[in-house]
Structure 1
Amino acid sequence: MRTFMKSFLDYVVGDRRTPQKNRERVGQNLMILSVFIFFVFIINFIIIIGSDSKFGVDLSKGASSVYQTVHTVQARRGTIYDRNGNPIAEDSTTYSIYAVINKSYVSTSGEKLYVQSSQFDQVADIFSQHLGMDKNYVLSQLKQKKLSQVSFGTQGSNISYSTMTTVKDALASAHINGVDFTTSPGRMYPNGVFASQFIGLAQVKENKDGTKSLVGATGMEASLDAILSGKDGQVTYQKDKNGNTLLGTATTIKKAENGKDVYTTLSAPIQTYLERQMDIFQEKAKGVQASATLVNAKTGEILATTQRPSFDSDTKAGLDAEGFTWQNVLYQTNYEPGSTMKVMTLASAIDKGVFNPNEAYDSSGLTIADATIKDWDVNEGLTTGQYLTYAQGFAHSSNVGMTYLEQKMGNETWLNYLNKFRFGFPTRFGMGSEASGLLPSDNIVTIAMSSFGQGIGVTQTQMLRAFSAISNDGVMLEPQFISKIYDPNTDTSRSAKKEVVGNPVSKKAATETRQYMVTVGTDPYYGTLNSNGSPVIQVGNQSVAVKSGTAQIAAEDGSGYLTGSHDYIYSVVAMVPSENPDFMMYVTLQQPESFSMTYWQDVVNPVLEEATLMKDTLLEPAANPLKSQTKFAMPDIVGKSPGDSADQLRQNLVQPIILGSGSKITKTSVAKGKNLKENQQILLLTSNFETVPDMYGWTKKNVETFAKWTNIKITYKGQKSGRVTKQNVEVGKKLNSIKKMTITLGE
C-alpha cells in the first residue's frame, strides 16, 4: 500500500509547473474544447437542415403543432331525390344547447359570462316553452356543483335553426349570458312518412379527432353510404404565440370530396298519395304488417313503396308503435306467397303446352303420397267439390287445379320454371341485406304445394321480378330504385336503363295469363275478386289483370301452420291495362284484425287510378342533360361473394350476370380497374357453374366470353349484332353435356 501511495504522489508532482504555465495550459484545453463543441453544433445543424428531424422526431411537424392548427372540412353528404328532383333526404345543421355555470367565466371588463343563479328560473321557463323541457330537470342541471358547463340530454340536441334562433332571442331579451349552442351535421327528411323504412336514416357519428359526420344507418342511406358519404378535407390555420387561431390564414391541405346525389325512381306525388291511402287501408284492417309497391311494368322501376307500421323520418314519431320493425318487408323478409304464385304456375303450364282451358277436373281433392290437397271452399265446408274447367279453376283460385297442372308438367319441369323465374335467388337489386327466399324441399308433396304458393319462400322483390315477366310479355326485368347518380365534384352523372334478367315464358304464355287474370275480377260466379257481380279492383274503364292470395303462416317452432281465423298473409297483384300493362301493383297484409276483399279498394284502386292520371310523368325516363358520364372502375371482386358484388355493381348502375351458384367469384368478363360504362352488362363466373343459363338479352360479346369459358361452340342466327333473343338449348341443362349451341341475335 505504501509503495502504491508513493508512486501516485510521484506522478502527481512529477510534472509540476509554474502558475503561469498552468494558466496557459488550461486556456489551450478550453480552446480545443470550444472548437470541438463548435464542430458538433455545425454537424447537428447540417443534419437538422438536411433531414428535418432529430432522434427520429419530425421537427417541422412539432413546430407546426405550435404555430399551426389543422381543421377538418366536412364533406357534404349527397342528397337523395325523387325521380323529378324533389328532395327526400338532405343535409342540414342541427344544434345542441349548453349552459356555462362556472363563476370565474368573466370578460376582461368584468362582465359575467355565465348563467347566474338568480336567472335559473328564467332559463328553465325559456327551455320549457321553446324546447319542451321539464323545468325541474333544467334546474337540476343548472344547480350541479364542480362543473364548468352543463348540457341537457336528448331534448337539448338536434335542435333546428329556427328553434335555436328563437331561444337565443328569448335569452337576449332576458339579458341572460352563458347559454350557447354547438353545431352538428344533421339529416333532414322533409316529407315525413315517405317510404321511411326503404329510404332509411343517416345518423351522426363522432370521429376519433372529435369531429362528427353522418353515416347511413338503415335502408337506402346505409346501402348507398359509400356513394352518398363523400370524403372529408383538411385546412390549416396559423396560430399566434398565445395559440390563438389567426383568421384569414387558411391553407387547404386536402380538398373535401362531396358525396354524390342519388335520384331514385320514386315519384314524390304518387308516393305521398300511396302513404295516405295506406293509412286508410291499415286503419280498417289493422294488420300486423302491411305493404304496397307500385312498379313501372315496362321498366321494373319502383315508383312508390311503403309499409305499416311506418314512422316519420323527420320527427321519428312512430318508432315506438306496437309491432314496428326496422326490417323492410319489400326485400328483407321471407314468406309463403300463397295463390298469387298461381300466376307463374299458369304461365308455365301454358308455355309448356299442358294447359287446356276447357278440360274439366274434379275439385273435391287430390291425394299425393300421404297428403290430400283440397280447395279453399271445400276446406271451409262451402262445397264438397265440383267439376271445373282449368280456366274456371284459375279464376276460382283452385289449389287442386294448379296441382294437376304441376303434375302435368312434371316436378323436374316445374322446378326448372321456378329456376327460370329466379326463385330461390335474391334479386340483388342494390339494397343489400336481402333475404334469399327458399325453393321447395326435395319432397313430392312440397313441390306440388309450391304450385299454389305453399312450401316455397319468397321475398316481395322476387315476386315483383317474376310478375314483370307476365306484365312485360315474357321478358323478366330487374327491380330498380336508382334512376341517376350525379357527382358534383366532376359535374358528371350516370343514368339507369331497364335491365333484362331472363325470358322464363313466351309472349303468348304471358299474354294469355293476363287474359285469365282478368276473369278473376270479371267472372261473377267463379272470380275470387268479384263482389256482387262487379270487379273489386277497378281502374276507370280499363281492363285489369288481377290475382289474390291467401297464404298460411308457418309457426316459428316448426310445428306446422298458425290456425287463427286471420293468421294469413293476404295479397293481391294488379296489372293495368291488362292488354299492355303500364303499371303493376302488389299489396300484402299480414294477420289483420279483420279482413274483406273489398279492403283492397282503399289502396289498389285509388293508387292505380292516380298513377293512370299521372301516366305521362311517371313513365317518362328521368332527364339527364349532362353529356359527361361519371367514371366507375371495375372493382377487385375475384374471390369475393357474387351477391355482395352484384349489389355493389348495381348501385353504380352496372348490370351484372351471375353464372352459377358458387359462393365465390372466380372470373369476370371485365378486368379489374377498367372503366365500366353506365348499364354495361358484365359476366361474373362463380365457383359452381353447372347448368345452362338463360341468355336472353345478353350481348354478343358476353356470349363469346361464355363460349370461351365453357369451350362450347356457338353458331349465330338472325342479325350480325344485337342481343340474344333465342337459344336452342333449354335453360337448366347440364353444361358438361353441351358441345355446341345456336344463338339467335336480334334487337
Structure 2
Amino acid sequence: MRKFTDYFLQYVLTDRRRPAENRVRVGQNLMLLSIFFFFIFMINFVIIIGTDKKFGVDLSEGAKQVYQRTQTVAARRGTIYDRNGNVIAEDSTTYSVYAIIDKNYVTATGEELFVKADQYGQVADIFKKYLKLEKDYVLKQLSQEGLTQVYFGVKGGNLTYSTMSNIKKAAESAGVKGIAFETSTSRMYPNGTFASQFIGLAQTQEDKDGNKHLVGTTGLEAAFNDILSGTDGKITYQKDKNGNTLLGTGVQVSKAINGKDIYTTLSEPIQRYLETQMDVFQSKARGVQASATLVNAKTGEILATTQRPTFNADTKEGLTEDFTWRSALYQTNYEPGSTLKVMTLASSIDAGVFNPNEIYNNSSLTLIDATIRDWSVNDGTSTGGYMSFAQGFAYSSNIGMTLLEQKMGEDKWLNYLAKFRFGFPTRFGMGNEATGLMPADNIVSIAMSSFGQGIAVTQTQMLRAFTAISNDGVMLEPQFISRIYDPNTDSSRVSQKEEVGHPVSKQAASQTRDYMVTVGTDPNFGTLYSKTEGPIIQANNQSVAVKSGTAQIAAEDGSGYLTGPRDYIYSVVAMVPSDNPDFIMYVTLQQPQEWSGLFWKDVVNPVLEEAILMKDTVLSPVENPSKTSSPYQLPDVLGESPGDTADELRRNLVHPVVLGSGSKISKLSVKPGSDLKENQQILILTSNLENVPDMYGWTKKNVEVFAKWMGVEVSFKGSSSGKVIQQNIDAGTSINKLKKISVTLGD
C-alpha cells in the first residue's frame, strides 16, 4: 500500500504546471476517457444486437419470461376401443379428496377453513358412505400431528364428478369446512375387470417442468404409449408490469397433436362373458394362476382374453402388494404338456409315419437312462396294455407320441418344431415377450418334447401353432389390433390377417382335427369324455376338436419337477366346428387347490356357445369409415435389434419377416425412410441366418430380394403374381447348400 501511495504522488507532482495548463490537460484526459467508454458501449451494443445474448444469457428469452407466460396445452391420449367401437379406456377428469387439518388455515376475517377435531366423526361417516372407507382409517388419518393436510389412499383418489359432488354437498350440509379436491386428468376404464393385465394401465406422471401427463405403465397402454400419447402444444400470453395475464393475448406457439385411437380385436360382450365364467371356474379350482383366450381361427384375431388373479382397472381393486403384473398370455414360459401332442400328431401325419391302426404297448418305454410311462400307469390306475396310435392320441399316451417322434427322427421332429416357430417369440406387438425354449440337445429331452415336456412355450406361441391346425395348415400371427385411427388427419391403418408359415399340409391338419374329436367322444379312450356325463366339451351340438393336457412344473432351481399332488399345469384347447373351425379356445390352470376335468364345462362350453351365437358379428371384418390411409415411414433400424423392430412394425400394422436368429439387423427389403403401407410385408435379415426359411405367403418381390441377398438362382411356377404357396427346398435345410430354389405362386 505504501508503494502504491508513492507511485500516485510521484505521478501527481511530476511535471507540475500552472493552473490554466492543468485544466487543459484534465479536459484532454476526460475527452479521451469519454471516447474510450463510447467505443466500449458501441462494441457491447453490436454484440447484443448481433447475438441477442449478454454474458451467455438469452436476452429475448429473459424478456419473454418477464412479459410473457407460456402455457402447455395437453394432448388428448388416444382412446382404446373394442372391435365395434365400445370404449375400453379413455381420458377423464377425476378428483382426489383431501382434508385440511392445519388450525392456522383461516381467512382474514377469522373464518376457520379446516376440519375441526369434533367434526372428525362426521367426516368418517361421509367417507364411509361414499368411498367405502373404514371409519377407523379415516379417524387415524385426520388425527395425525404436524401435517397441514391429509389424503385417503387409493379409495380417496380417481373419483368421478358424481362422487366428488356428493361428498362436497354432504360436507356442506354438515357444516364441515376443509374438505377439498384436487383435479387431474386420468384414465377411465368403464368396464372394470376387462382383460386388465392385457390392456394394462396409464397413470399420471410429472415431467421435469412440472407438467402432468398420462403415461402407459403396463400392458397395451405401455406398448402403444408413443402411438396413444400424442404431443402437447403451447400457447403464450402477454403479462402486464405486475405479472398479470392479459386476456385475449394468447398466441398459439405449437398445436397439440392428439394421440391416435386404437381399435382392438376384442369383442366387448364376449370379453364380459368370459370374465364372468372365469370367476365361476376360478372359484371352484382356486388355481395359483388361470387364463383363457378365444381366437378367430381364420384370422388369428384375439376376441377375448383374461387371467386370474386380476384386478379392476377402474377402482384398482385387486392390486395388492404381491400382485404379479406378468401377462400369462405372452410373458410366461411354461411346459405345455399334452396339448402340444396336437402338433406332434399333425407332424407325424405330414411326415407319413402315422398309421392309425398300428398297435403298440403303453406299459413303459425306456430311452437310454429314462423310462417314459403313460399317465394311467404313473398314477396306478393301469398297468398298461395294447392300443392303436389313433386310440393312443385320444388317450393322451406319452409313449404313443414318443414312438411317433422316433419314427420321424430327431432332426425331422426338431424341424417341425421350428416350422411351428417354437423357440421364437411371436413379436406380435406387445413387447417384453418371453421367448420359449426348444428342447435340450439330447435324445431324452427331444423325445419328451413330443408330449409337451422338456420344451418351454408361451401361450401366444401355442395359439400361433394351433391356427395352423384350425386353418388347414396355414399358420397365422396372433393379432389384437384391428384399426389405428388418427383424429388429427381423419385417416386410419387397418389390419389384415398375417400368414407366417405352412408347417403341415391341409390333409394333415384336417385329419388331426378329426382325431381331436375322438378325445371328447371316445367312451373308452377319450380323456375329455365323462363316463357319467358324456362329452365334457360341448358347444351348441356342433362337433368340437379338443385336446387336454397335464404338464409337470419344473422347479425354479433346476432340480427337476415339483412333486406335490396338484403341482401341474392343466390345459385344454378346443376348435369349433371341427370340420372348418371358426373359433379356437385355449385355457390353462396352474396348481389348483381342487380339480376335476368337469370344471372345463364352466368356462369353455358357455364361452364357445356365446361366440357361436355372435358368429356373424365377431367374425365380420371391421369397418373403416376413414377414406385415407395413415402414413408410416420405416425408421433407420439397420444394426438394431430385429425382435424389437418387429414389435414396432407390428404396432404400426406392418408385416415383418425376420430371417435368422442374429442379434442385429444387417439388411432390409425396403430402404429406411420409405413409406410403408398397412399390412405391407418387409424382410428383415439378421446377422445370423443358417437355414432356409418357410417362404409361404411371401410376395414375389420379396423372394427375388432374398435370392439376391443369398446369391441364389430362383425360378417361379404357377401364377405370374400372387404369393408363395410352395417351395421345392424344405424349410430348415442348411442355407449353405442352397444354390437354386423354385417356388410356386398362387392366390
Q: TM-score band (shorter)?
A: over 0.9
How far apart, CA to CA, are the structure 2 residues paired with 1:144 and 1:521?
Answer: 63
Taking structure 1 as the reference length, the TM-score comes to 0.93
1:709 aligns with 2:709: yes
Q: How does 1:93-492 map to 2 (within 5 A)?
A: 93-98=93-98, 110=109, 112=111, 114-115=113-114, 121=120, 126=126, 129-131=129-131, 154=154, 156-173=156-173, 179-320=179-320, 324-492=323-491
Give the aligned partner of residue 507 of structure 1. 506
1:657-687 deviations in whole A, cap 9, x for unaligned? 0101111111111111111100000000011
How far apart, CA to CA, are the structure 2 residues paired with 1:173 and 1:485?
Answer: 48
CA offset at residue 251 of structure 1? 1.6
How far apart, CA to CA, are the structure 1 residues paired with 2:597 and 2:10?
Answer: 124
The letter of the residue matching 2:295 is V
How far apart, CA to CA, are the structure 2 residues paired with 1:366 and 1:194?
Answer: 46
Partner secondary structure for residue 629 of structure 2: coil
1:693 aligns with 2:707: no
How far apart, CA to CA, are the structure 2 residues paired with 1:13 and 1:357?
Answer: 128
How far apart, CA to CA, are the structure 2 residues paired with 1:661 and 1:42?
Answer: 67
How far apart, CA to CA, are the structure 2 residues paired with 1:151 and 1:97?
Answer: 7
Check the 8 A contact 1:658/1:683 in 2, yes or no. yes
How far apart, CA to CA, are the structure 2 residues paired with 1:154 and 1:280?
Answer: 28
Judged with a 3 Å threshold, the aligned counterparts in structure 2 of structure 1 residues 518 and 142 are, in CA distance, closer, same or farther, namely closer
CA offset at residue 310 of structure 1? 1.1
Give the aligned partner of residue 77 of structure 1. 77
Judged with a 3 Å threshold, the aligned counterparts in structure 2 of structure 1 residues 185 and 377 are, in CA distance, closer, same or farther, namely same
Judged with a 3 Å threshold, the aligned counterparts in structure 2 of structure 1 residues 485 and 239 are, in CA distance, closer, same or farther, namely same
Give the aligned partner of residue 595 of structure 1. 595
CA offset at residue 206 of structure 1? 1.4
Partner secondary structure for residue 295 of structure 1: strand
How far apart, CA to CA, are the structure 1 residues paired with 2:397 and 2:166?
Answer: 65
Give the aligned partner of residue 627 of structure 1. 627
Give the aligned partner of residue 578 of structure 1. 578
Give the aligned partner of residue 89 of structure 1. 89
How far apart, CA to CA, are the structure 1 residues paired with 2:202 and 2:117?
Answer: 41
How far apart, CA to CA, are the structure 2 residues paired with 1:589 and 1:8?
Answer: 103
Q: Which runs of 5 or more structure 2 residues have no equivalent in the other structure?
A: 1-5
CA offset at residue 517 of structure 1? 0.6
How far apart, CA to CA, are the structure 1 residues paired with 2:134 and 2:613?
Answer: 50
How far apart, CA to CA, are the structure 2 residues paired with 1:446 and 1:11?
Answer: 105
How far apart, CA to CA, are the structure 2 residues paired with 1:345 and 1:130?
Answer: 57
Judged with a 3 Å threshold, the aligned counterparts in structure 2 of structure 1 residues 542 and 68 are, in CA distance, closer, same or farther, namely same
How far apart, CA to CA, are the structure 1 residues paired with 2:457 and 2:135?
Answer: 53
Q: Percent identity?
A: 68
Check the 8 A contact 2:237/2:250 in 1, yes or no. yes
Q: CA RMSD in A?
A: 2.7
Give the aligned partner of residue 550 of structure 1. 550
How far apart, CA to CA, are the structure 1 residues paired with 2:105 and 2:249?
Answer: 29
1:142-173 deviations in whole A, cap 9, x for unaligned? 78888776655555433322222233334444
Is the deviation greater in 527-536 or in 305-314?
527-536
The letter of the residue matching 1:571 is S
Judged with a 3 Å threshold, the aligned counterparts in structure 2 of structure 1 residues 249 and 146 are, in CA distance, closer, same or farther, namely farther
The letter of the residue matching 2:639 is G
How far apart, CA to CA, are the structure 1 residues paired with 2:139 and 2:251?
Answer: 44
Judged with a 3 Å threshold, the aligned counterparts in structure 2 of structure 1 residues 582 and 136 are, in CA distance, closer, same or farther, namely closer
Q: Which runs of 5 or more structure 1 residues have no equivalent in the other structure?
A: none
CA offset at residue 286 of structure 1? 1.1
Check the 8 A contact 1:120/1:139 in 2, yes or no. no
Judged with a 3 Å threshold, the aligned counterparts in structure 2 of structure 1 residues 148 and 58 are, in CA distance, closer, same or farther, namely farther
Check the 8 A contact 1:347/1:510 in 2, yes or no. yes
Judged with a 3 Å threshold, the aligned counterparts in structure 2 of structure 1 residues 596 and 21 are, in CA distance, closer, same or farther, namely same
Judged with a 3 Å threshold, the aligned counterparts in structure 2 of structure 1 residues 124 and 463 are, in CA distance, closer, same or farther, namely closer
Partner secondary structure for residue 361 of structure 1: strand
CA offset at residue 389 of structure 1? 1.2
How far apart, CA to CA, are the structure 1 residues paired with 2:155 and 2:346?
Answer: 57
How far apart, CA to CA, are the structure 1 residues paired with 2:604 and 2:288?
Answer: 19
Check the 8 A contact 1:529/1:597 in 2, yes or no. yes
Partner secondary structure for residue 114 of structure 2: coil
Partner secondary structure for residue 88 of structure 1: strand
Check the 8 A contact 2:99/2:115 in 1, yes or no. no
1:180-230 deviations in whole A, cap 9, x for unaligned? 433222111110111111111111111111121111111111111111111
The letter of the residue matching 1:625 is P
**What is the aligned length?**
740
Is the deviation greater in 591-600 or in 237-246?
237-246
Judged with a 3 Å threshold, the aligned counterparts in structure 2 of structure 1 residues 239 and 131 are, in CA distance, closer, same or farther, namely farther
CA offset at residue 16 of structure 1? 3.5
Check the 8 A contact 2:123/2:171 in 1, yes or no. yes
Check the 8 A contact 2:520/2:537 in 1, yes or no. yes
How far apart, CA to CA, are the structure 2 residues paired with 1:516 and 1:660?
Answer: 34
CA offset at residue 115 of structure 1? 2.8
How far apart, CA to CA, are the structure 2 residues paired with 1:9 and 1:485?
Answer: 88
CA offset at residue 381 of structure 1? 2.4
CA offset at residue 324 of structure 1? 4.1
Judged with a 3 Å threshold, the aligned counterparts in structure 2 of structure 1 residues 181 and 510 are, in CA distance, closer, same or farther, namely same
Judged with a 3 Å threshold, the aligned counterparts in structure 2 of structure 1 residues 133 and 462 are, in CA distance, closer, same or farther, namely closer
CA offset at residue 51 of structure 1? 3.2
Partner secondary structure for residue 546 of structure 2: strand
1:341-383 deviations in whole A, cap 9, x for unaligned? 1111110111011111111111222211112212112222222
How far apart, CA to CA, are the structure 2 residues paired with 1:357 and 1:531?
Answer: 23
1:638 aligns with 2:638: yes
Give the aligned partner of residue 17 of structure 1. 18
Check the 8 A contact 1:99/1:114 in 2, yes or no. no
Give the aligned partner of residue 3 of structure 2. none
Check the 8 A contact 1:112/1:177 in 2, yes or no. no
Partner secondary structure for residue 628 of structure 2: coil
How far apart, CA to CA, are the structure 2 residues paired with 1:166 and 1:202?
Answer: 27
CA offset at residue 176 of structure 1? 5.9
CA offset at residue 710 of structure 1? 0.3
